[in-house]
Amino acid sequence: MTVLRVFLKRFDKEIAICRELSKKNGGKCNWGECGKCVVVPLLYKLGKGEFYENEDDVKKIKKDALQ
């Protein structure tokens, strides 16, 4: 398995954990509120090399990832 595939598999797993906890706990996980969280944008940066600074872009990727 290539390094890229390993990273993408890990990315998908971590996003799934965020999604599951958000749904289970009403928009919150063990670390805080999903709306204020920076984990999803950080995962996109580390896992896919995509960096989001624009607030609207960050909101969109959070919404997409957590649904």
Amino acid 10: pLDDT: 85
Amino acid 60: pLDDT: 92
**Residue range 20-34, pLDDT digits in tens:** 988 998 888 777 788
CB contact at 8 A, 11 and 47: yes
Place of tokens 């063990």: 30
pLDDT of the chain, 67 residues: tens digit per residue: 687 788 778 888 988 988 898 899 888 877 778 888 888 888 888 888 888 889 999 999 988 888 8
